Chain A
Amino acid sequence: MRGDRPREFDRPRFLPVLMGGFLIWTFAPIAIVVLFSFNSGQSLQNFDGFSTQWYSDFFGDEELRQSLYTSLEIATVTMIVATLLGSLLAYGLVRARNRLSPVTNVVMLIPLVVPEIVAGVTALLLFTQLGFRLSVTTIIIAHITFSISYVTVIVRGRLVALNREVEEAAMDLGATRLQTLRLVVVPGVWPAILAAGLLTFALSFDDFVLSFFTTGESPQPLPVRIYSSIRFGVTPTINAIGTLMLFVSLTTIALALALPRLLGRRGHTVLIGRDAL
């Protein structure tokens, strides 16, 4: 034996190569988009020098900027409403002793497995049947609908680990149900709630399919807007938009992972980032 080193047959040499290949395949296109968003020339093949002109172009374009704001608005509203409803649903599913809860448990998972295109078409049909005018509101409703499941799954995971006796202890000591929720349950699961909220924000901000089917004429969310603009030819502005969106999404996900840990270290709670995402 040579100390603790695993023997050669325990770690095939092709694995690092495979992993490297996977990383390049996944991230090279993204890296190229980011790189070319700073290209000073029009070309999508040759890098002519550094410039931020495509970002200026983007922010100079009234319609594109409006789309960015719309996307942020949709994501924010979706995050708040879906996190609230999803967390309450999770609490109900974990704590309620009810004949309907097994059914709800399954029904809740349906949005996670239904193909998004089906969900999109269904939403479109529903809205037109009901005579809704397609707008930012219809997009938000569609986004909230599918986001609730994500929130519920994440928050429920943390709630299950919460000792039921702690809630009973709070009530035993004179806290009403609402006070118990505020003083004991929320502090116990809030990292999960936070993670769920940020994930919902990222999912909503990125979403194309559902938004495409439920959007009105104007304003349109950014992904839909990009899709319609590339039908008339690809300009390097797309690279700048892509980079910006990537930045927003990555920041959100990073926050979802890091915040519970950073705040947890201050002694407020146990971290959940890992099992939530």
Chain B
Amino acid sequence: MSEAIRFESVSKRFGDTEAVRGLDLTIERGEFFSLLGPSGCGKTTTLRMVAGFEQPTEGRIFLEGQPVAEVPPYERNVNTVFQSYALFENLDVFENIAFGLKRRKVPRDEIRRRVTETLELVQLPARSDAKPRELSGGQKQRVALARALVNRPGVLLLDEPLGALDLKLRRQMQIELKQIQREVGITFVYVTHDQEEALSMSDRIAVMDAGEVKQRGLPEDIYERPQGEFVAGFIGISNLLRGVVEDGGTVRVGEALRIACPLPEGCAPGQEVNLSVRPEKIAVEEIEDGMVSLEGTIVSRVYLGVSTQITVSLGDGATLVALEQATYRARADERWEPGMQITLGWHPEHCLVLR
């Protein structure tokens, strides 16, 4: 694979605030790459620098191997799907989608052919002469996508494109977006704060916080093996227990609670660490051989349908959240009640030590 975008120690400052700090990142051609992080983490600024709406304060950006510092937005081989859709209200759907091709003086019949093709790709062939204000949110979204895709850019930038849609439509569009990306094979750079969206669609993810990339990798790596507290806390629900490393491969949480876990190399006794266990990896009562097991008291129970979320106090101020699949207790008279004693367990490899 060859590279589509490369950031070389890119920083962006707005006055005193540093939006992006020392970003080094390569995005491969044909990849579905997500920038994931909370609002204000610098992900949108990163995207805007690729589009050319912002200039890096330091560092360089390369598009398909070429530095783009001198290239204005209208000459870059990238197109953007905006969060607000940013459709041209005075033009109809066809004219909106044809806008980019017209600027590039593409012949009329080719414009007609490509717009029609793209309208079919986004499943909106019947609305070509509607005005944007006559469209629903989902339809506007499709027009915005078609307007960018029709130009066959080297890179498609998507800035929280599904943010304004309701949950059901979001899920549907997530699947469609991924399908479209596979079909056209264009590099997608997708900005989102929704971890589920990033996990479900991306080939690779970079998690950003406070202007820095905290971790990059495959969705499974990001979720199962978060590096550091921020990623573990931001992706999914995570149990974080603060403790001190002891001799003999255990971590002491609070006064008396000792938890065995695989310590990463270079973990010296006396060091303060965080333990992280995903709630769905925690077994409730069904303890298997080789599991670490702990006793606790149920603090609260939330029935979620597909699973039940139980909060358990381990004493010493430590609490864990466990998700029990509905495979087990499926009836109201089988409920866990607050105050009940319970045994939790997990396989040692599911307990991560974060430094």
Q: Which residues in A have some Cβ–Cβ distance to B below 8 Å?
A: 163, 165-166, 168-176, 179, 183-184, 187-188, 267-270
Contacts and interface: CB of A to CB of B under 8 A. Distances in A.
Contact of A187 (B73, B74, B86, B90): B90
B103 A179 contact: yes
Nearest to B103: A174
The 4 closest A-B pairs by CB, nearest first: A174-B103, A173-B100, A165-B86, A169-B86
Contacts of A168: 51, 53, 73, 80, 82, 86
A171 B75 CA distance: 9
B74 A176 contact: yes
B99 interface: yes
B103 A169 contact: no
Contacts of A183: 88
Given A179-B103, A267-B131, A172 B80 contact: yes
A170 to B, nearest CB: 7
Contacts, number: 66
B12 to A, nearest CB: 14
Given A171-B53, A267-B131, 20 more contacts: A163-B84, A163-B86, A165-B82, A165-B83, A165-B86, A166-B89, A168-B73, A171-B52, A171-B73, A171-B74, A172-B51, A172-B79, A173-B79, A174-B103, A174-B104, A175-B74, A175-B99, A176-B72, A269-B89, A270-B89
A53 B19 CA distance: 75
Contacts of B82: 165, 168-169
Interface residues of B, number: 26
Interface in B76-124: 78-80, 82-84, 86-90, 99-100, 103-104
A65 to B, nearest CB: 42
Nearest to A165: B86
A245 to B, nearest CB: 36
B141 interface: no
Contacts of A169: 80, 82, 86-88, 147
B151 interface: yes
Given A168-B80, A179-B103, A267-B131, A173 B86 contact: no
B73 A268 contact: no
A160 B103 CA distance: 26
A171 B86 CA distance: 12
Contacts of A174: 74-75, 100, 103-104, 151
Contacts of A179: 103
B142 to A, nearest CB: 15
Nearest to A186: B90
Contact of A173 (B72, B90, B103): B103
Given A168-B53, A267-B131, A269-B90, A173 B84 contact: no
A172 B148 CA distance: 9
A170 B86 CA distance: 9
Nearest to B73: A171
Interface string B30-57: 0000000000000000000001110000
A170 B88 contact: yes
A168 B82 CA distance: 9
Nearest to B131: A267
A173 B89 contact: no
Contacts of B51: 168, 172
A178 B52 CA distance: 17
A173 B83 contact: no
B341 to A, nearest CB: 56
B89 A171 contact: no
8 contacts: A165-B82, A166-B86, A168-B86, A172-B73, A173-B148, A175-B99, A188-B89, A267-B131
A184 to B, nearest CB: 6
A170 B100 CA distance: 8
Nearest to A162: B89
A30 to B, nearest CB: 40
B99 A173 contact: yes
User: Taking each of B73, B78, B147, which has the highest tally of chain A beta carbons within 10 Å of its own beta carbon?
Assistant: B73
A127 to B, nearest CB: 43
Nearest to B144: A169
Nearest to B134: A267
Contacts of B88: 166, 169-170, 183-184
B99 A170 contact: yes
Contacts of B79: 172-173
User: Taking each of A163, A165, A169, A268, which has the highest tally of chain B beta carbons within 10 Å of its own beta carbon?
Assistant: A169
Nearest to A179: B103
Contacts of B80: 168-169, 172
Nearest to A187: B90
A269 B88 CA distance: 11
B86 A175 contact: no
Interface in B145-197: 147-148, 151
A179 B72 CA distance: 14
A217 B346 CA distance: 100
Nearest to B104: A174
Contacts of B147: 169, 173
A173 B151 contact: yes
B319 to A, nearest CB: 43
Interface string B240-284: 000000000000000000000000000000000000000000000
Nearest to A269: B90
B156 to A, nearest CB: 11
